[in-house]
Amino acid sequence: MKNYLFILSILIIVSFIYLKLAIKYKIIDKPNERSSHTKITVRGGGIIFTIAILLFFLLNDFKYPYFCLGVLLVSVISFLDDIYTLSSKIRFPFQFLAIFLILLEVGSPFTPIYIFIFTLAFGIGVVNMFNFMDGINGITGLYSLTTLVGFYFINVNEQLIDSDLLIYAIISILIFGFYNFRKKALFFAGDIGSITIGMLVFFVGLYFMFSLGSPLILLLVLVYGADAGNTLLYRKIFTKESIFDPHRHHIYQKLVDQTKMSHVQVSLIYAFIQILVNIIVLNSYKLAIQPQIFIFMGFVFVFMVSYLFLFNILKKVNKINNNLL
């Protein structure tokens, strides 16, 4: 407990100092067509996620060195992206290297090569999913918290990884929430924050899947996955847009825009739904593989259909709103 209070104190101090420095040196997020905010806001506040992981590495006998090195690499390039806006041609090689280091850490086999390549590409997808979904106040902090707490409870039962890694990250998210989980955020996570959380979730999730042989671990990011995945398909099939172009097609964006729900309300809905899914995962990840696959496919089907249904409703609401103007 004393160690956790030390981590809490360090991260509170770091977050306060960073806010002051970011304001002074104008590390800010200016609203664009993708943005759900209208005011210039400090970005890069998720640097405390990276610091929490590095503190874990330094204070816990240098555990998970490949993973921590990967986090450091993508954190540096992501923070530079927060400041200067770098091309994806610069960012992606670092992300590939970082995911490769995670695969080394968890002992992922290099053969057959197509599975290794798929896992590498899947890791890139998970990391960038957290980045794409970081668009409204509170969503990154709340959703990451629900996912990591889900991992924590599984780890309490299975003792697969050092729990301090999850606890340090959870502490950093709670501190971040003080600045971000509000109507007018004091700072955003930035790429450094969302990418770092994505790295952590992929590392822990992959470690758990390899150790437990349970596909249901994937459901701990189901809500994000359903939104990001369906939005990606919609843009590729219907709008023909580049996935790298700013847009406002995510369901969480449409809920804010069309229903006028607050950022905090939408973030709470996403977190609450994920909590319900987590409860089912926690009670079924030890089942035989066949019922697990049945549960997994059932959830994927329900969430895909629900996405399409909600998307069409919001589209009609938007049309009604436009007719009233």
CA 2, chain centre distance (Å): 29
29-86: pLDDT as tens digits: 777 656 556 678 899 999 999 999 999 999 999 999 999 999 999 999 999 999 998 9
Per-residue burial over 173-208, b = 16 or more CB atoms within 10 Å of its CB, e = otherwise: bebbbebbbeeebbbbbbbbbbbbbbbbbbbbbbbb
CA 126 – CA 202 distance, rounded (Å): 7
Of the candidates 307, 304, 303, 313, which has an alpha carbon nearest to the alpha carbon of residue 259? 313
pLDDT at 109: 84
Helix/strand/coil for 187: strand
pLDDT at 35: 58
Q: Indicate the DSSP class of residue 41.
A: E
Statement: residue 318 has pLDDT above 90: no
Number of DSSP helices (H) and strands (E) in the chain, helices first: 12, 2
Is there a cis peptide before residue 112, judged by omega within 30 degrees of 0? yes
Beta carbons of 180 and 45 less than 8 angstroms apart = yes
188-247: pLDDT as tens digits: 999 999 999 999 999 999 999 999 999 999 999 999 999 998 888 888 777 777 766 767
Percentage of the chain exceeding pLDDT 70: 94
Does residue 122 or residue 241 have the better pLDDT? 122
Q: pTM, whole model, 2 decimals?
A: 0.94
322 CB neighbour count, 10 Å cutoff? 8
Question: Any idea where the domains of the chain sit in the sequence?
Answer: 2-324
Question: Which amino acid, 236?
Answer: K
Per-residue burial over 273-297, b = 16 or more CB atoms within 10 Å of its CB, e = otherwise: bbbebbeebeeebeeeeeebeebbe
Indicate the pLDDT class of residue 321, thresholds 50, 70 and 90.
confident
133-144: pLDDT as tens digits: 998 999 999 999
For residue 224, the number of C-alpha atoms closer than 13 Å in the C-beta half-sphere is 32
Of the candidates 106, 147, 146, which has an alpha carbon nearest to the alpha carbon of residue 126? 147
pLDDT at 33: 58
